[in-house]
Amino acid sequence: MSDTEEQEYEEEQPEEEAAEEEEEEEERPKPRPVVPPLIPPKIPEGERVDFDDIHRKRMEKDLLELQTLIDVHFEQRKKEEEELIALKERIERRRAERAEQQRFRTEKERERQAKLAEEKMRKEEEEAKKRAEDDAKKKKVLSNMGAHFGGYLVKAEQKRGKRQTGREMKVRILSERKKPLNIDHMGEDQLREKAQELSDWIHQLESEKFDLMEKLKQQKYEINVLYNRISHAQKFRKGAGKGRVGGRWK
């Protein structure tokens, strides 16, 4: 055996011895743990244990704990009820505030609408009053025109007497054709109809005037033609009447 092998054998031998010692220790029976014996409580001599009193005290303790739990429960419930009441009060207060705000806004809107209606009514009354004044002025002007025209015709008739020229005949014809204006009792629609009637009548008169002017032009033309013919005939007759009388020409 070499030196190296001897050295390895010497190192393995102590390890085997240690393993064998451990196996021997495991095979040995282990001692049991020591449990102290139960010793009942000593009852003092001359005294007796009152189990009823112990039970009563335990019941009183349980009752006290139950009462405490009940008190805590009712206290918590009371607190929750107070919070619920406070919440309901806040809700009612906010609801009342909103109702008051809505009432205030409704009142303001009603006042605004009333002012607008009043302003509209005032403007309509002013416009109606202005229209009535304008209608009254128009009626007055038309009445004055009719009165002045009629008075003028009467004065012209009285001044000139029974002699009538072409202008007087024209004025007389216009006076006969003039329609009386009875418009004091008329409303706005009736006045509009009356104005339309007068407009149609004026248009008719203008048409007749145009026809008469054309007729007058034709008559003037015919008169001028006849006048020229007469003048020419007179000149011819004067020239034909001249002759020799006593060896002289007249």
**Local confidence pLDDT in tens for the 250 residues of the chain:** 445 555 554 555 555 555 555 555 555 555 555 555 655 555 555 556 677 788 888 888 888 899 999 989 999 999 999 999 999 999 999 999 999 999 999 999 999 999 999 999 999 999 888 888 888 887 777 666 555 555 555 565 565 555 556 676 777 776 766 666 666 777 778 778 878 888 888 888 888 888 888 988 999 898 888 888 888 887 777 665 555 444 444 4
Cβ(172)–Cβ(164) under 8 Å? yes
Residues 6 or more apart in contact with residue 7 via CB below 8 angstroms? none
Rounded Cα distance, 155 and 150, in Å: 9
Which residues does residue 244 pair with via DSSP β-bridges, in sequence order?
249
Cβ(168)–Cβ(156) under 8 Å? yes
Return the pLDDT at 182: 67
Which residues does residue 140 pair with via DSSP β-bridges, in sequence order?
none
Q: Token pair of 227, please?
A: 């006048």
Q: Read off the DSSP letter of residue 185.
A: T
